[in-house]
Structure 1
Amino acid sequence: MISLCLIVLNETAYLEGCVRSARPFVDEVVIIDTGSTDGTVDLAWKLADTFAEVPFDGDFSAARNEALVRATGDWILFLDADERLMPAEGARLVEQLEQAPEDTLGLRLLRYNFFADGGFYTGRELKVFRNRPDVQYRRKINESVAASIAEAGGRVAAAPVLMNHFGHSRSVADRSKKAYTYLSIMDRQLAERPQDGVLLGYKGLILRTLGRFGEALEYSDQSIAVAPSSATVQLFRGHVLRSVGRDGEALEAYQRGIELAPEDPAPHNMAGLQMISLGQRHDAADAFRRALRLDPEFVHAHINLGLLAQMAGRWAEAIELFERAGARNPGFYHDDMTGRVERDPYRAFYNETILGYAGLGYHLGYCAHQLAGRIPPSGR
């Protein structure tokens, strides 16, 4: 039995889509509202098997744990309202749970986070875990059950399952408001744990997305000073350096991340992107292929290989690579014109593809028209 759990706040635009995407694969839905004022409460009553309203005191773990105590399933699938399961991926998840060894207490799904223009970034997120009293969320922000699973002697496995997150397609105003909320909670947690290198690095990422690059670099410097041997900190460091055009240093940070976590495909992919910026296209292709060998679910590496083919004028090869990625995850075709017309100069810094990426539909259409000879020469 699987319990879908959510904590929500003013999510009328997203909540129903989330629940509908997961309903075929779960046995119950548990929703905790943390103070909505937009009609989310009425909607949640209709969608949930179990619903409760809980005041939010700035501790995301506490809110999530309120859902856990009400869930009755053997497994928990914890989603955010703006996340979605695709049908094939939901079925694959159920299969993974049926086959999971007893000592596997959690599964990480590969989440694609999409922007209105089709840009994206990824992360392996611990979204599924066994429903046990000793498996609880920790930390006010960047909350996770990973620590409690480790203390219980359990394993966390990477599942061959993709999921999509469309929260970054919200308006710039909504995303900025959330960013400042996160910064406030981060400051509270850093007051308690000032030597938390990952959190320092994460704060740098948030500041970068607000255009506060000087502060972003300061927090990135602090994170490296505190935790130079953390692959995550090195990855975050590369992201911040990339956003300010320090491409060579960014590549060095990603390569250091590879040394620390050679089996993680993320720094390989990011190193490949920096190699493109530095004109090292052959090495970039090798880096993208390594990422795919390490994790075949890392399908956006096909997009990055396709972009290299597009740069070289190999139109048919580019089309095949783009279509391969889109067939596995149709989310790559996401495009929201409302979001495209907003002024959001910092969105591209998130991209785990080239900074000028325009969405899979654009690149696929451009290459198809080039292959058909429908685009006149540029004259260059």
Structure 2
Amino acid sequence: MTPVYSVIVVTWNNLQYTARCVDALLRTLPSDAEVIFVDNGSEDGTPAYLTDVARRLGDAAKTVFLDENLGLAGGANRGLEVATGEYLVLLDNDVVVTPRWLEGLRECMEEAPRAVPGARRVGLVGPVTNSARGPQKVQNPPPFQPEALNELAAEHREAFRRRWAPSFALSTFCLMMRREVYAEIGGLDERFFPVGHEGADLALRAQERGFECMIASDVYVHHEGSATLSKAFPGAQGGLGGAELFFEKWRARRAGKTRLVAAYRVRDAEATLRESLDATARFADAIVVLDDGSTDGTGAIARSHPAVARYERTELPPGVDDRRDRDRALQLAAELSPDWILAVDADEVFEMDRARAERLMQLADPHIKALGFHWYTFWEPTRTYFRADGALGAMSGYRMYRNEPGLRVARGEGGLPGGGIPEMPDGCGRFTDVRVRRLGYDTEASRQARLALHARPDRYAPPRAGAPPELADLASNTVTLRRYAPASGVSLCIIARNEAERLERFLAFLEPFVDEICIVDNGSDDATVEIARRFTDRVRVHRTDRLDLAEVRNVGLGMATRPWILSLDPDEELAHWDLPRVVRLMDDLDVHAYSFEIANHQKDGPPVMTIAVRLFRNDARIRYGRAVHETVQPSLDRHPELVVRAAGVEIQHYGFLKDDGVMEEKLSRYLEANQRMREEDPADPMPWYNEGLHLLNDGRDDEAIAFLERAMVLGQHFLSPRSSLAQIYQHRALALWQSMVAELPPGHPVRPTAEESAAALGRITPARMLVGQARRRRLQGPSHGE
């Protein structure tokens, strides 16, 4: 009998994990399954153990013993070659499966297309777990208790029953693949040896053929997490290694000329359609138009426009079906075999040229399949002012997507406005900074016409359900208008030195959002410059005789050509959902710079918060100062006419998570440069403050206090020294109260006060930030001489 399931377990040493995995697997294995053990040359008794298990299973088991370690992909592929089941399952040997896990994955694979809006035929399915990178990880899972795992999985299955979601990628720790998918795209790519990005690569290839990748959130398994990998290949970064190879493969795979088709769905739009078509023709290869029964000159404009490749007219029945009509327009576009499709309304003007469109279609990150834009609704006929309040003042959304088989618009039945493009998995969308001018609201008559449309009793089903938020804005008598900036765009300016490990991912994330990338390398001896040049031709190597980061940063500012500059480092991140907010910050013509909250993540304790200006106009008056701990603040102080406001956006900084030795070397270089700055300009409070922090980190509190007090005297409005001093004295006060609690006997009249004071201070006193040598000393404990 041909098995329904083939479960492939790849092993390399770590017998204790393999035995645990196999025990759970055999307890949950249905009778219509086979198990294939592939060993990558283990030397710890694993082959003998697997041979014994296979003997006991008889025909339900196969073994493949390799003479050398071929990595995850090589081992999995040898197993796939001998598998005969309809559902092929890859299972890491550090996974503990739970009852009905196979049935749960299969149920998702077969039922999700009918249960999940817009889902295509499912080709790959993965469960959720305690340890994984990306959307398959359960937040805050309980500690692993073998005896309680099955009960936890059962509770999880009940709580998340049939909660299935498309995913941009899946991990291979536990992955079910339909045999049809394997027949079409093959197995894992072995170039990513020993492990890293095989699952992401497999998912991308499946999606290209029209298969959905789905997470079965109601199937929970335990995953130890890189138990074998971390021992065999310590440099594999827990499966994140090989990013360079991954990006390189997909960059080459999608190289060459790309084709963009714009899809319009229009009705009675003669007032704005020609201007919109002219703008779209500047960057699109072709345009298709679906006319929903126009009664004015819309059809004639569309048919006569040279960029319109197809025009189709439809006479609507009573009511409006937004989903059906948008989907038809997109199918017209898909018939022209484009790489990307853009959904456009007749009153929209996308501020994009062909060069920008080409860059957006050739992004480094192959997971990006939907691109977001930002709408500006003009409110008066001269189109000088746009609506800046309410839903109309914050409209951002996805309109451009990679064309793949089987995609369809899934929302908008009964006239409910949909998103304009097919459903896309979380994680595959990115915002650009491209503005879209919205022309159809610039007169009172046009706004009243739209209100009348929304008021029709057949507009929504049921009536009034799901009316768009802009409806309230249209009816409002109170509006806020803002002058439209004639020029827009942002340059990403960064400096780098030996950042090859993180630069590719950093640039791939921000590449869609920024108009240009300017990188100044300060003397890297790794692949930093090579990686940088994959993303931009604005790369300059600028070595300095002595450490002077302000000089290096200012070189980068001089390379920028866009109106705004975003200054970030490769060890920093902006949240994707904050990018529309950043775009709106650049709308204010009266502001020159924005300060951001920086969350400095620590190896021990919560992040330490600081503030720094990171978004500012490309203005010669704004330049960096100070050799280290460089900032544009001195130039802003010299020009009080420049307006600075808080961005209300947080930047995550992970630089302090680097190896303690690396941090110690960096701090030593910074201290030397900082002392030089203090000697050259003793009236500048910043070097005094920074050296005080260095002394504080080194445990030399008394010396730190003297430097911080000096900084406070020199900078009367400089708040950071006061905060640091307050924390020093706060820690000292806490230690004194705690010592009193330890010394005072029960019943002593002062003890309640001491306990209350210690508890109150303990709640509000932040942990000491220790990095480099100071952190290593604390972890090692006192030496014999202390």
TM-score (norm 1): 0.63
Q: Is the 8 A contact 1:198 1:233 kept in 2?
A: no
Give, in whole Å, the separation in 1 of the partners of 2:762 and 2:701. 31
Structure 1: state its 5+ residue gaps: 250-274, 289-303, 305-338, 347-380
* Partner SS state of residue 69, structure 1: helix
Q: Is the 8 A contact 2:734 2:761 kept in 1?
A: no
5 Å matches for 1:1-380? Answer: 1-56=489-544, 57-97=546-586, 99-100=587-588, 102-117=589-604, 119-152=606-639, 153-227=641-715, 230-242=718-730, 245-247=732-734, 278-280=758-760, 343=776, 345=778
Cross-structure match for 1:253: none
* Partner SS state of residue 29, structure 1: strand
* Partner SS state of residue 52, structure 1: strand
Shift of residue 242 of structure 1?
4.7
Cross-structure match for 1:368: none
Q: Deviations over 1:301-350 (max 9, x none)?
A: xxx9xxxxxxxxxxxxxxxxxxxxxxxxxxxxxxxxxx9xx84639xxxx
Shift of residue 117 of structure 1?
4.2
Shift of residue 237 of structure 1?
1.6
* Partner SS state of residue 562, structure 2: coil
Give, in whole Å, the separation in 2 of the partners of 1:59 and 1:91. 34
Give, in whole Å, the separation in 2 of the partners of 1:54 and 1:277. 54
Q: Is the 8 A contact 2:518 2:559 kept in 1?
A: yes
Name the Cα RMSD after superposition. Answer: 3.0
Cross-structure match for 2:418: none
Question: Relative contact order, CA 8 A, sep 6+: which one is greater?
Answer: 1
Structure 2: state its 5+ residue gaps: 1-488, 737-754, 767-771, 780-786
Give, in whole Å, the separation in 1 of the partners of 2:713 and 2:675. 18
Cross-structure match for 2:139: none
* Partner SS state of residue 144, structure 1: coil
Give, in whole Å, the separation in 2 of the partners of 1:118 and 1:282. 14
Give, in whole Å, the separation in 1 of the partners of 2:591 and 2:777. 41
Report which stretch shifted further, 133-142 or 73-82.
Answer: 133-142
Give, in whole Å, the separation in 2 of the partners of 1:134 and 1:197. 21
Considering only CA atoms, is the larger Rg found in Structure 1 or Structure 2? 2
More strand by share: 2
- Residues 1:343 and 1:142: Cα distance change in structure 2 (over 3 Å): closer
* Partner SS state of residue 580, structure 2: helix
Give, in whole Å, the separation in 2 of the partners of 1:6 and 1:85. 14
Kindly provide the amino acid, as one letter, of the partner of residue 614 in structure 2. Answer: K
Q: Is the 8 A contact 2:730 2:761 kept in 1?
A: no
Give, in whole Å, the separation in 1 of the partners of 2:527 and 2:575. 26
More helix by share: 1
Give, in whole Å, the separation in 2 of the partners of 1:166 and 1:129. 23
- Residues 1:136 and 1:226: Cα distance change in structure 2 (over 3 Å): closer
Q: Is the 8 A contact 1:228 1:234 kept in 2?
A: no
Give, in whole Å, the separation in 2 of the partners of 1:277 and 1:91. 45
Give, in whole Å, the separation in 2 of the partners of 1:96 and 1:277. 43
Give, in whole Å, the separation in 2 of the partners of 1:221 and 1:133. 34
- Residues 1:241 and 1:185: Cα distance change in structure 2 (over 3 Å): farther
Kindly provide the amino acid, as one letter, of the partner of residue 675 in structure 2. Answer: D
Give, in whole Å, the separation in 1 of the partners of 2:685 and 2:758. 29
Give, in whole Å, the separation in 1 of the partners of 2:671 and 2:579. 33
Cross-structure match for 1:308: none
TM-score (norm 2): 0.31
Q: Is the 8 A contact 2:675 2:687 kept in 1?
A: no
Kindly provide the amino acid, as one letter, of the partner of residue 579 in structure 2. Answer: G
Kindly provide the amino acid, as one letter, of the partner of residue 615 in structure 2. Answer: V
Give, in whole Å, the separation in 2 of the partners of 1:92 and 1:344. 42
Q: Is the 8 A contact 1:134 1:148 kept in 2?
A: yes
Shift of residue 246 of structure 1?
4.3
Q: Deviations over 1:261-317 (max 9, x none)?
A: xxxxxxxxxxxxxx9974337996xxx9xxxxxxxxxxxxxxx9xxxxxxxxxxxxx
Q: Is the 8 A contact 1:28 1:49 kept in 2?
A: no
Give, in whole Å, the separation in 1 of the partners of 2:540 and 2:657. 28
Shift of residue 148 of structure 1?
2.5
- Residues 1:23 and 1:156: Cα distance change in structure 2 (over 3 Å): same
Kindly provide the amino acid, as one letter, of the partner of residue 491 in structure 2. Answer: S
Report which stretch shifted further, 52-61 or 62-71.
Answer: 52-61
Shift of residue 52 of structure 1?
0.5
Q: Is the 8 A contact 2:547 2:669 kept in 1?
A: no
Query: Structure 1 vs Structure 2: percent identity of aligned residues?
Result: 28
* Partner SS state of residue 654, structure 2: strand
Q: Is the 8 A contact 1:6 1:79 kept in 2?
A: yes
Kindly provide the amino acid, as one letter, of the partner of residue 113 in structure 1. Answer: N
Shift of residue 28 of structure 1?
0.8
Kindly provide the amino acid, as one letter, of the partner of residue 554 in structure 2. Answer: N
Give, in whole Å, the separation in 2 of the partners of 1:148 and 1:118. 34
- Residues 1:42 and 1:225: Cα distance change in structure 2 (over 3 Å): same
Shift of residue 14 of structure 1?
2.1
Shift of residue 174 of structure 1?
0.9
- Residues 1:175 and 1:90: Cα distance change in structure 2 (over 3 Å): same
* Partner SS state of residue 601, structure 2: strand
Q: Deviations over 1:184-212 (max 9, x none)?
A: 11111001122333421221112222333
Shift of residue 238 of structure 1?
2.3
- Residues 1:94 and 1:225: Cα distance change in structure 2 (over 3 Å): closer
* Partner SS state of residue 103, structure 1: coil
Kindly provide the amino acid, as one letter, of the partner of residue 2 in structure 1. Answer: V
Kindly provide the amino acid, as one letter, of the partner of residue 280 in structure 1. Answer: A
- Residues 1:166 and 1:223: Cα distance change in structure 2 (over 3 Å): same
Shift of residue 223 of structure 1?
3.1
Kindly provide the amino acid, as one letter, of the partner of residue 140 in structure 1. Answer: A
Q: Is the 8 A contact 1:220 1:240 kept in 2?
A: no
Aligned length, in residue pairs: 264
Q: Is the 8 A contact 1:22 1:84 kept in 2?
A: no
Q: Is the 8 A contact 2:520 2:552 kept in 1?
A: yes
Cross-structure match for 1:309: none
Shift of residue 214 of structure 1?
4.2
Shift of residue 88 of structure 1?
0.5
